[in-house]
Amino acid sequence: MTLASLGPAWVHAARALWLASLTFATSSLAAPPPFQPASGPDTSGPELTLHALMSYAEAHAPLIALDAANDARVRAARAAAGRALPSNPDLWVGIGPRFEAGKTGLDFEVGVSQRVEVGGERQARLRVAAAVERRIAAESTDRRWDLHTTVHALYYQAVVARERAALARRVVAFQGEIATIVGKQRAAGQVSQLAERLALAETANARQALAALEQEDLAVRQDLALVIGWSPEVPPRPRGDLDALVTLPPLGDLVALAAVKRPDLALLDATLDEARLRVAAADKDRTPEPVFGLSWARESSPLGTAGDASHVVMATVALPLPFFDNNDPARAEARAELEVAQAERRKVGARIAAEVTRAYRAAVAATQRLDAFGREVLPRFEENLAALKRAYALGEIDIFGLASGRERFLSAQRDALTAQHDYFTALAELEHAVGVDVIDAHHDDPAADPHAPSTAPSTAPTTAPQAEEPTR
């Protein structure tokens, strides 16, 4: 039996049922609603330039919190070295009977003595204290330089993370547009159900990639906030774009510059100078220290009258004989510390060229990658997406060609952003290796920056004489 044999009414009813089922099937695969980010606490802090971030870090960064104790450390070193006498005076009192021919008298004696340094020990200690002050200043400079290069690196990492998230948002919008077009084509019977499902899958994939990149952006900004002393609950956002490529000096000039400009080398030199002066001070301490004294004694006369007692005043000098103790333990320890400081200085000095060369080569390689990407990829991404959309709408490519083309363009764009990340990371490493700022600072004008903060939620509290050659 056929529908035709049942009459025209049954034929119309069957067609209506088939169309209703088709409409239900296509509506279940319709394009998703516009993307809405997941709700959560507001983590969008203020936009700050690199200069504003650096200025805030110099006042609030936990890395330089020790600077607040520098004055106390210097005063302690000076107080320990500046004492005029090596010890307190000794006071002694003696009293006892005197026996003479069966009679008893009472003798009494009192005296005071003082050990005195005569070999220049105090001057040697004062030179050590001055060296300690220079070392403390060098430590502060080294910490501030570490902070400078770290903020530079994290700032540009945050900018790259922001651009990656912005790229992901553009891809989500593009995939939403494509899903809408495919949904309409599917409703019109122009494409298969597989094409619509593929478009929806690509949209879902773009959304999850966006969520991951937004979390990565937040994590980098939180790292930056922790370094500069800002609250990680509302980390600041970098204000500014990725700068133009920096023209680097010749490698040989940078290696020579690093040998005289690196703060860690200055710190090692200050430590070495202090170690030499401690050896000289320990050698001075082997000089015998005389003890000067003054005493008064009353000696009774048991056989005489009370007025026959004698009074004796004496000045004394005691001088230790340096037979067994020449301050050998302290001298050996000071020389061991000197050898350690010399070895550390040689080790760091020997690897300067390697560190600078490695960072320089990385910066040059990233520059070459960026140069190619900058001409061929970065300016054309929007144009490429528009061309893909137009080609698909005109039927020049199918949904599979569209997905493949978008992924290729997106992959190139991601590689370009990775090259920018590597480039600015290499520049920050080169800065640290050389000891001078190699990243252009012309984009930061402190007077023109209205976003430089004075306060913000903070997680941290609010900064030479020549050494004597040691004698053996």
- Per-residue pLDDT tens digits for 189-236: 888 888 888 888 888 988 999 999 999 999 999 999 999 999 998 999
Residue 376 CA to residue 283 CA, distance in Å, equals 70
Integer-rounded Cα Rg, in Å, for the chain is 41
Percent of the chain with pLDDT over 90: 34
How far are the Cα atoms of 111, 296, 298, 299, 308 from residue 105, in angstroms, in the given order?
Answer: 21, 17, 11, 8, 11
pLDDT of residue 40: 45
Share of residues in the chain with pLDDT > 70 (%): 81
Q: Which two tokens stand for residue 341?
A: 């400081």
- For residue 127, being part of any structural domain is answered with yes
CATH number assigned to the domain comprising residue 198: 1.20.1600.10
Span 357-372, mean pLDDT? 86
Classify residue 384: in a domain, yes or no.
yes
pLDDT, residue 444, reads 45
116-134 pLDDT, tens per residue?
Answer: 988 888 999 999 999 999 9
Q: How many domains does the chain have?
A: 1
Residue 301 falls inside a structural domain: no
Q: What are phi and psi of 360, to 5 degrees?
A: -65, -45
pLDDT, position 457: 47
In the chain, the amino acid numbered 239 is: R
Within a domain: residue 9? no
Which residues have a Cβ under 8 Å from the Cβ of 280 and sit 6 or more positions away? 124, 127, 467, 468, 469, 470, 471
In this prediction, residue 114 carries a pLDDT of: 92
User: How confident is the model over 138-150, as a mean pLDDT?
Assistant: 92
Tokens of 404: 């493949």
Q: What's residue 420's pLDDT?
A: 85
Of the given ranges (43-57, 93-107, 148-162, 401-415), which has the lowest mean pLDDT?
Answer: 401-415
State the pLDDT confidence band at 375, using cuts at 50, 70 and 90: low
Q: Is residue 381 in some structural domain?
A: yes
> Is 466 a domain residue?
no
Question: Is pLDDT of 35 > 80?
Answer: no
Mean predicted confidence (pLDDT) in 93-111? 88
Angle between helix 193-228 and 50-60 (nearest 10): 40
Identify the band that residue 56 occupies on the pLDDT scale cut at 50, 70 and 90.
very high
Asked if the structure places residue 464 within a domain, the reply is no
3-class secondary structure per residue, 247-304: CCCCHHHHHHHHHHHCHHHHHHHHHHHHHHHHHHHHHHCCCCCCEEEEEEEEECCCCC
Indicate whether this model's pTM tops 0.75.
no
Residue range of the domain that includes 242: 45-104+117-287+330-448
Under 8 Å between Cβ of 295 and 109:
yes
**Residue 320 covered by a domain:** no
Q: CB–CB of 181/393 below 8 Å?
A: yes
State yes or no: pLDDT of 426 exceeds 70. Answer: yes
Average pLDDT taken over every residue of the chain:
80
Q: What is the pLDDT of residue 133?
A: 93
